[in-house]
Amino acid sequence: MPTENMGSDPGTVRGSDPNRRLGVLISGRGSNLQAIIDAIAAKRLNAELAVVISNRPDAAGLKRARDARVDTLVLDHTDKARFATREDYDRHLVRELNQRNVRLVCLAGFMRLLTNVFLDAYPNAIVNIHPSLLPSFPGTNAQYQAWEHGVKWTGATVHLVTAELDGGPIVMQEPVPVKDGDDVDTLAARILEREHYLYPLAIQLLLNGGWRIEGRRFLAI
């Protein structure tokens, strides 16, 4: 059965959904967050940044959000008094996102596995960017994995998030060549530049609607 359901209101025609509120989740540098902020400012991305949430108090991306006057929140996963289990943590996240009426959750270097508590609250409404052409090189250090394997092309993938690690429906991909003289850092920088181009485009596509999921395929209606 094809589905297109972003967030708590499944089954509606998304192209006409006026809610364009994003929640961006980060753990570190936040350069993809910056790309989203810049794309919104330049009106290349018709969206509203409702909140940036970090699981790390020292994430550099928090400053980027504050500089852009975006609401920020730190939910420190190491605070076991507050979050005894992963489910407790995710319940809290969902509550914060719901309170802000977030329609699409964008993972941008958020280094945590999500539980069903989170996945079930936002069916087909959590999106991630990964620095390889999935399904090649899932998991951490994807740029190193590609470089070490010796592939001639790698890239970036934006995909919907499911219980399968880096395995949800692929929304958009961007290829990147691997050059003979590359080390991991030069390759990672070339991929990152394409990530910054790709992620706002894919978010726009998701918010615009007119798509459906068939099996694991993301398709235009």
Look at residues 109, 132, 129 and name the one whose alpha carbon lies nearest to residue 178.
Answer: 132
Q: Select from 8-16, 27-35, 78-86, 96-104 the region that touches ligand GRF (CB under 6 A).
A: 27-35
Q: Select from 8-16, 22-30, 82-90, 212-220 the region that touches ligand GRF (CB under 6 A).
A: 22-30
Q: Which of 4, 40, 118, 131 binds ligand GRF (CB under 6 A)?
A: 131
Is 28 among the residues that bind ligand GRF (CB under 6 A)?
yes
| Single-letter code of the amino acid located at 40 | I
Is 200 among the residues that bind ligand GRF (CB under 6 A)?
no
| Single-letter code of the amino acid located at 62 | L
Shortest distance in whole angstroms from residue 35 CB to ligand GRF: 8
C-beta separation of 26 from 54 below 8 A: yes
Alpha helices in the chain (DSSP H): 31-41, 61-67, 86-99, 116-121, 142-149, 184-208
Interatomic CA distance for residues 107 and 165, integer angstroms: 13
Axis crossing angle, helix 142-149 with helix 184-208, rounded to the nearest 10: 120
Q: Which of 14, 103, 130, 212 binds ligand GRF (CB under 6 A)?
A: 130
Q: Which of 77, 92, 130, 159 is catalytic?
A: 130
Is 109 among the residues that bind ligand GRF (CB under 6 A)?
yes
Q: Which of 7, 32, 55, 174 binds ligand GRF (CB under 6 A)?
A: 32
C-beta separation of 117 from 97 below 8 A: no
Q: Which residue number, 174 or 195, has a Cβ lying nearer to ligand GRF?
A: 195
77 is catalytic: no
Is 29 among the residues that bind ligand GRF (CB under 6 A)?
yes
Question: Which of positions 37-96 make contact with ligand GRF (CB under 6 A)?
Answer: 61
| Single-letter code of the amino acid located at 164 | E
Is 155 among the residues that bind ligand GRF (CB under 6 A)?
no
CB count in 10 Å sphere of residue 47? 20
Catalytic residues: 130
